[in-house]
Structure 1
Amino acid sequence: MAAITAERLLEVAVAHRNTRWATARGGVEYGRGHYPVMIALHVGLVVGTLTEAALAHRAFVPALGWPALCAVVLANVVRGWCMRALGPQWNTRVIVVPGLPLVSTGPYRWLRHPNYAIVVAEGLALPLVYGAWATALLFTLANAALLTVRVRVEDEALRPAA
């Protein structure tokens, strides 16, 4: 969990750097209203996982925990691939720089929103490493609602570039 937390903090730093890059090039942010909800949900995933595992005395179940850990590692490798493909356009916010084409390399060659598929997979897998099945369920349901908004905002923002 410490590694995931450190990775998320690194993502926030990269996102801040990329926000400055995009803003300097006339980037426009979309969907600001849902961003605090997204941050709270992702913090809640980590806190909920640790809290549930501790308070419910969840034991590590190797048959579930090891595959879930492999899924978390794979998800983060693919997230890194997404970040690399997008370069300075990658962000935790929806910021569009006018005139830039849609990225169609890396995983974006096959999926329009590969990072969101990763978030879904990780939202299920990370809690299950710790046996925190209730957190996996609650995060997945809340994340489905959030992603409905997020994908709509992003698709609308990217429409001119398509």
Structure 2
Amino acid sequence: MQEVVVLFCCFFVLRLISLGISLRNEKRIKALGGVQYGKVNSMLLAIVHIVFYFSCLFEAVYNHHLMLDSTSKWGLALLIFAYLMLFYVIYQLREVWTLKVYILPEHKVNKTFLFKWVKHPNYFLNILPELIGMALLCKAVFTFCLLFPIYLVILAVRIRQEENAMKHLF
């Protein structure tokens, strides 16, 4: 199997692990009376995220960009950073981290170093570097130019929804 495909599969498995954590936390949050905000937006983000990933893979296979070179190594470095940030954010938020926006009746705002200094670290230190990294790893120029702007619009709506849902907590 080619290097890029193997790495793609590794990162996809990590994404599935994060999904499992999210689903477990979501079940607990619902049981505690948590309310979800931005349901449609969360679904759109998930769909575009999956399409982005597999479009990058398709583009790599179609264009025979399956071995690591300097561009894909930059993508790999960015992906490693993005996933380290993902699991650090999960660690920091613990039981309240989900892929969706949920607010608990007794929701506590995380005030650790990362959350004090970076607004929305999951988006700016994980998701955006992850997508850029995947596009670089796969040399998926078409995917990046087409889907990244779409993702940014959906993410901007998500950030607004999250801030509106949490404004009473600040």
- Which TM-score band (shorter chain)? over 0.9
Structure 2 CA distance for aligned equivalents of residues 37 and 85 of structure 1: 26
Which among 117, 128, 149 is matched to residue 141 of structure 1? Answer: 149
Unaligned 5+ segments in structure 1 are none
Residue type of the partner of 2:148?
T
What TM-score, normalized to structure 2? 0.89
Structure 1 segment 5-154 matched on structure 2, within 5 A: 5-58=12-65, 60=67, 62-117=69-124, 118-154=126-162
Provide, for residues 74-94 of structure 1, a one-character-per-residue CA deviation record: whole Å limited to 9, x for no partner.
Answer: 110011111111010100010
Of 60-69 and 21-30, more deviation after overlay is shown by 60-69
Q: Compute the TM-score of the two structures, normalised by the length of structure 1.
A: 0.93
Paired residue total: 162
Q: What is the Cα deviation at residue 46 of structure 1?
A: 1.5
Instruction: Tell me, in whole angstroms, the C-alpha distance in 2 between the residues paired with 1:114 and 1:24.
Output: 26
Tell me the SS of whatever aligns to 2:165: helix
Query: Aligned-residue CA RMSD in angstroms?
Result: 1.4
Shift of 1:134: 1.6
Identity of aligned residues (%): 23
1:9-58 CA-partner distances (Å, limit 9, x unpaired): 11111111101111121100000011221111111122101111122333
Q: What stretches of structure 1 move > 6 A for 4+ residues in a row?
A: none
SS of alignment partner, residue 91 of structure 1: coil
- The unaligned stretches of length 5 or more in structure 2 are 1-7
Deviation per CA, 1:52-72, whole angstroms, max 9, x where unpaired?
112233364622111211110
The answer to whether the 8 A contact 2:35-2:103 is kept is yes
Whether the 8 Å CA contact 1:53–1:130 is kept in 2: the answer is yes
SS in 2 for 1:18: helix
> For the residues of structure 2 that align with 1:130 and 1:5, how far apart are their CA atoms?
13
